[in-house]
Structure 1
Amino acid sequence: MSHQPHNIHAGTQVVTRVGVHGSNNALVHPRGAVGIVTRTPCGNEAHFLIRFPDGFEASLKADDFEVLKLFKDRLEAAPDATFELEPHVIYRCITGSRAYGLDTESSDTDLRGIYLAPPDLQWSLYGAPEQFEDNATQSCYWELQKFLTMALKANPNILECLYSPLVEKRTPIAEELLAIRDKFLSQMIFQTFNGYALSQFKKIEQDLRNQGQVRWKHAMHLVRLLLTGAATLREGRVPVQVGEQRERLLAIKRGEFAWEAVDAWRQELHRDFEQALMETTLPERPDYEAANVFLIRARRSAANLPP
Structure 2
Amino acid sequence: MTDKFSKPPSDQPPAGAEVDKGSHQLPEQITAIPVRHTGRWLSGGIVLALLGTLVYSFSQGDVNWDTVGNLIFDDRIITGMGRTLLISVLSMLIGLVLGITFAVMRLSKNPVTGAVSWLYIWFFRGTPVYVQLLLWFNLALIFPILNLGFYKDEMVDVMTPFMVALLGLGLNQGAYMAEIVRAGIQSVDEGQTEAAHALGMSSGKTMRRIVLPQAMRVIVPPSGNEFINLLKTSSLVSAVQYTELLRAAQNIGSTSFAVMETLLVASVWYLTLTSVFSIGQYYVERHYARGSLRQLPPTPLQKIKMKMVSLSGSRGGVSA
Higher RCO (C-alpha under 8 Å, 6+ residues apart): 2
Bigger share in strand: 1
Bigger share in helix: 2
Larger radius of gyration: 2
